[in-house]
Structure formats: C-alpha cells, structure tokens
Structure 1
Amino acid sequence: MILTTTNSIEGFKIADYKGIVTGVAINEEKLSMGFSMSKYYKALQGSIDTTKEIAFNTLTENAKKIGANAIVGIKVEIEILATNYAVVAVTGTAVTVAQ
C-alpha cells in the first residue's frame, strides 16, 4: 500500500478513485505526569506514536476493504484530550494506481 500526503504519486497514474477513508485511534492508556514534566512529555510522545500507528493501520485496512492499493492526500490530526488521552485521526483518498 502506497501512502502519501501529496495528491499524486510520481511514476504512477491514478486509475480509479475509491473514496475517502479514515483511521481513528485513541490511546486509552492513562498518562501520568508524576513529578517530572520531561517524564510526562516522554509518555505523551510514546502515546502519540503508538496511537498514530494504530490509526494508520486502520486507514490502510479500510482502503484495502474497498479495493485500493494507495492512499493520496493524507491528513493527520492529533489531539490530546483534557483527560490526557491521545487521539489521532488520519484521512485520505483511497485510489487504485498503476505504473
């Protein structure tokens, strides 16, 4: 699966537009600030990285379900809720490409 934030893929032609796909994930692991801000930021970064990976996996699986072999125009939104949960939403256009 080819994933890109651009609207085209060099060397490939978009043969068919399959539709908009989304991958959303929330890391339910509660973050604890403890006594150190650096500890908090390290935990927060790990939470975002893990949650982003889950969201991209969901995005890819949703594109595969509709017969796509690439996703173009990907946008990533990251939000930290007041409860210290990391939420990541990834959206793009699922397409079929050929060389």
Structure 2
Amino acid sequence: MILTTTNTIEGFKVIEYKGIVSGTSSELKTKFSFKTEKNMEMIANVMTEAKEQAFQKLKDNATKLNANAVLGISVDVETVNGSYFFVSVTGTAVNVA
C-alpha cells in the first residue's frame, strides 16, 4: 500500500478512484506536565501511537475498497488538556499502476 500526501505518485498512473477513506485514533493518558523532558518524551510516544493506529485504520479502509494507494493524505492532531490525543487521517483511495 502506497501512502502519500501528494496528489500523484511519480512513475505511477491513477487507474481508478475508489473513494475517500479515513482513519481515527484517540489515546487517553493521565495529565502530563509539559515542564520536563521525560514528560515531553512520554507525550511524543502517546501521539506517535495514536498516529500509527489512525494510519493503520486508513490502510484497512483502503484495502476494503481494493485500493493499492491513498493519495492526498491530510493529518489532523488535536489534544485536550494534554491528556487526550485525537488523530484523524483522510485521503483518496485509488488503484495505481
């Protein structure tokens, strides 16, 4: 599965547009203090995990449409009070050759 934020993939041609796909993920952790380096590392790990889950769901949804690529991916990361992280990824599922 090819994933890209661009609208084209060099060396490939879009054969069929399958539809818009998305993936979301949220992670709830205890409140962090942004004051220490250790806490900043923990926050980064939580956000990375949420992002990886969202991308996996995006790929799963594209696979259900029999797509082999997702173009124009947009990533949105939000947090509430530094304890709840929400990641949403959206793109266009396509077949390329």
TM-score by length of 2: 0.92
Count the aligned residue pairs.
Answer: 97
Residue 25 of structure 2 is aligned to residue 25 of structure 1: yes
Contact 1:33 / 1:39 at 8 angstroms: preserved in 2? no
Task: Please tell me whether residue 37 in structure 1 is matched to residue 36 in structure 2.
Answer: yes
Provide the residue aligned with 2:11 in structure 1: 11
Q: Deviations over 1:50-88 (max 9, x none)?
A: 000000000000000011000000010111112611110
1:60 alignment counterpart: 59
Runs (4+) of structure 1 moved beyond 4 Å? Answer: none
Q: TM-score, normalised by structure 1?
A: 0.90
Unaligned runs of 5+ in 1: none
Instruction: Decide whether the 8 Å contact of 2:31 with 2:82 is kept in 1.
Output: no
Structure 2 unaligned regions, length at least 5:
none
Counting aligned pairs with the same residue, the percent is: 47
Are the equivalent residues in 1 in contact too, given 2:31–2:81 (CA < 8 A)? no
Alpha-carbon distance in 1 for matches of 2:33, 2:77: 23
